[in-house]
Structure 1
Amino acid sequence: MTAKRQAAALLWGGLALGFAAGCTPPIAPPPTIGRATAIPSSAVKYGPADDVWPPFTAAGWSAPEMMPGPINTAGAEDSPYPTHDGQAFLFFFTPDLNIPAEKQLLDGVTGLWSASAIDGTWSEPTRVWLAAPDEPALDGCPFVLGDLLYFCTIRVGNLREIDLFRATLRDGVWMDWQNAGREINLDLEAGEMHMSASGSEIIFASRRAGGFGGYDLWRAQKSANGWSHAENLGPGVNTAADENRPALSPDERELWFDAPSLLGRPGPAIYRSRRTPEGAWGAAEEIVSQFAGEPAFSADGQTLYFVHHYFTQDLSHMFEADIYQSRRVGPAVSP
């Protein structure tokens, strides 16, 4: 969310390095700097007891809690994404929200990380390398479909400021990264996105013309001829504000996204829209409020993961970002 957007705003204008966008991984990845080593020694790990703007949920969901295990640190975690098979958990990490984007780009630690499922817990995360050692890149917003990893990236050679790229999983390593193509990046103007399990539908955020204002959520269908024209999801989902960061529930009956709160709470909130029998998306309802965004689901659809930002009482300063979770406390309601 904010960490990546600050980076995007600063990075593109200041990046004047003559490296071409690569499609081949290094023979061996560069040494990984540990997250703990990169976090400033003065950093303090905050938690719910320090949170003056805690997130809260609507009926049917448990009280939000910090995700247990080794993923959250005194740095900033963002963009949670558990894979559909439940075996990996990807996320964005930067050690210090206050460092400028050009330092994030070259610090050797800011970017995508991944933890593995081991006996019901998550392993210590490791860095996901999606660029050659001599290729500056800032990567985030992961989405995995089979053996393909789609991700947002800022790097030289993009078709636009932030492009969608994809990489292929081979022998447990993401490699062969390349631009996701002109259709997705230029024709659809797709931002953060989610695809159906079949890969035949993409739902994405975009500021493209013809929407209700700001970022809207759109969809397109894939055929043998490529992607269809973008279709706006309509007034049940979109407003004049920004609707962004969509995620489908595993059964694809629910569409989740973040947008400004309609309950008057500060920061973004997370909404749910249910698919109607006709295939349209119904009126969205606010489910998680108060600095909650970037929804994602466990493989069984019972646990909702999201990012929560810690702010000062006067809302003047964000000082940490962690990944939180909430569980369904009743069965999912079918349309």
Structure 2
Amino acid sequence: MILGALLLAASAPRIWSRPPISSDQFESHPAFDPLTRDLWFVRSTPEFRGWRLKVSRCGKTGWSEPVDAPIAGDGVEADPWFSPDGRTLWFISTRTTDGISRKDLDIWSVSRGKDGRWGTPERLPEPVNSAGQEWFPRPAPDGWLYFGSDRPGGFGKTDIWRAREDRPGQWTVENAGPALNTAADEYEPLPSPDGAWMLLSGVDAYYRSDRTAQGWSPRVRLGPEINANGSEIGAAFSPSGKSWLFARDTKDGRSGELLLAGEDEGWPKPCPQS
């Protein structure tokens, strides 16, 4: 609850991204590789279309010019996220599957070997994926993989769902419940690193929900310092959970920018390091 209160009272976020990460396009959904410190993110048009996964490396002169991610496929792709050990990456994609060109976004994962090379991405099976859209897969310390989906059976058009692999290849999937979901749309669930609370996005705002003995508490809308104009999206916590990056259309002709909120804890580390 203390951390949630801190974010509710957070000071105005500041723009973190600079060229070459920042461009005249829309940058969002940052994720730092725990093993290499590379920055993965989504670059799309100023209208937030045509999502592609990009990677920038921290070198002697700063962040490198972003290039296509090594696991990039055809179709649109977005929402990258690493396991804490950096050996697994989750993302969403419409890439061709088994010769089938898809239009719906599905959740994919890919593993990295000891040699540092990424393997072949694999589409998560049903019932994790559905005939609808899946968004923003984010694992939580409680063993569940949280994500957004517009599949039938929710409280609104799009809800927060969660999946758990009980046995190899055997998944349990369930709606995350009315504390997080409404008759409106909920898209992006981001559990804190310690699992104590969740940041989630609705139609036009960020909310938080605390973990209690009875489950997730009813969500609370964050303040105007965070929810400035309803374009906030794609958040990522620092390892401590005390600060976080997110994207916002700053409405000043620069399209999407990455902003930093929360405590000043020296995260992300400067590049190059002084």
The aligned counterpart of 1:12 is none
The aligned counterpart of 1:271 is 207
Over 3 Å counting, the alpha-carbon distance change for 1:325 and 1:235 in structure 2 is: same
Q: CA deviation at 1:178?
A: 2.6
Q: Is the contact made by 1:60 and 1:328 (CA closer than 8 Å) also made in structure 2?
A: no
1:61 partnered with 2:10: yes
The aligned counterpart of 2:243 is 303
Over 3 Å counting, the alpha-carbon distance change for 1:228 and 1:98 in structure 2 is: closer
Q: CA deviation at 1:174?
A: 3.0
What is the CA–CA distance in structure 1 between the aligned matches of 2:173 and 2:15, rounded to whole Å?
40
**1:123-142 equivalences in 2 (<5 Å):** 124-131=65-72, 136-142=74-80
Over 3 Å counting, the alpha-carbon distance change for 1:122 and 1:196 in structure 2 is: farther
Q: CA deviation at 1:326?
A: 0.4
What is the CA–CA distance in structure 2 between the aligned matches of 1:175 and 1:154, rounded to whole Å?
18
Aligned length: 246
| One-letter code aligned to 2:210 | R
Q: CA deviation at 1:82?
A: 3.0
What is the CA–CA distance in structure 2 between the aligned matches of 1:84 and 1:256, rounded to whole Å?
21
Task: Report the 3-state secondary structure (helix = DSSP H, G, I; strand = E; otherwise coil) of the residue aligned with 2:151.
Answer: coil
| One-letter code aligned to 1:128 | A
1:72 partnered with 2:27: no
The aligned counterpart of 2:221 is 286
| One-letter code aligned to 1:62 | S
What is the CA–CA distance in structure 1 between the aligned matches of 2:132 and 2:26, rounded to whole Å?
31
Q: Deviations over 1:152-203 (max 9, x none)?
A: 11223256622222222243343312322333213997432211257x3111
Indicate the structure with greater helix content.
Answer: 1
What is the CA–CA distance in structure 1 between the aligned matches of 2:240 and 2:206, rounded to whole Å?
19
The aligned counterpart of 1:87 is 37
Over 3 Å counting, the alpha-carbon distance change for 1:281 and 1:187 in structure 2 is: farther
Q: CA deviation at 1:122?
A: 5.0
Task: Report the 3-state secondary structure (helix = DSSP H, G, I; strand = E; otherwise coil) of the residue aligned with 2:129.
Answer: helix
The aligned counterpart of 2:55 is 114
Identity of aligned residues (%): 25
| One-letter code aligned to 2:156 | G
**1:1-335 equivalences in 2 (<5 Å):** 59-69=8-18, 70-83=20-33, 87-94=37-44, 96-97=45-46, 111-116=52-57, 122=63, 124-131=65-72, 136-145=74-83, 146-156=86-96, 157=100, 161-170=104-113, 171-186=115-130, 190-197=134-141, 200-224=143-167, 226-230=170-174, 232-260=175-203, 268-278=204-214, 280-287=215-222, 288-289=226-227, 290=229, 291-311=231-251, 320-328=255-263
What is the CA–CA distance in structure 2 between the aligned matches of 1:158 and 1:191, rounded to whole Å?
18
Q: CA deviation at 1:65?
A: 1.0
Q: Deviations over 1:292-322 (max 9, x none)?
A: 122211112122111101347xxxxx86111
| One-letter code aligned to 1:206 | S
Q: Is the contact made by 1:188 and 1:229 (CA closer than 8 Å) also made in structure 2?
A: no
Task: Report the 3-state secondary structure (helix = DSSP H, G, I; strand = E; otherwise coil) of the residue aligned with 2:128.
Answer: helix
Over 3 Å counting, the alpha-carbon distance change for 1:118 and 1:303 in structure 2 is: farther
Q: Is the contact made by 1:151 and 1:164 (CA closer than 8 Å) also made in structure 2?
A: yes
Q: TM-score, normalised by structure 2?
A: 0.76
User: Over alpha carbons, which structure has the higher Rg?
Assistant: 1
Over 3 Å counting, the alpha-carbon distance change for 1:151 and 1:327 in structure 2 is: same
| One-letter code aligned to 2:32 | P
Q: Deviations over 1:55-81 (max 9, x none)?
A: xx9643231111144422222202222
Q: CA deviation at 1:141?
A: 1.0
Over 3 Å counting, the alpha-carbon distance change for 1:161 and 1:243 in structure 2 is: same
| One-letter code aligned to 1:270 | Y
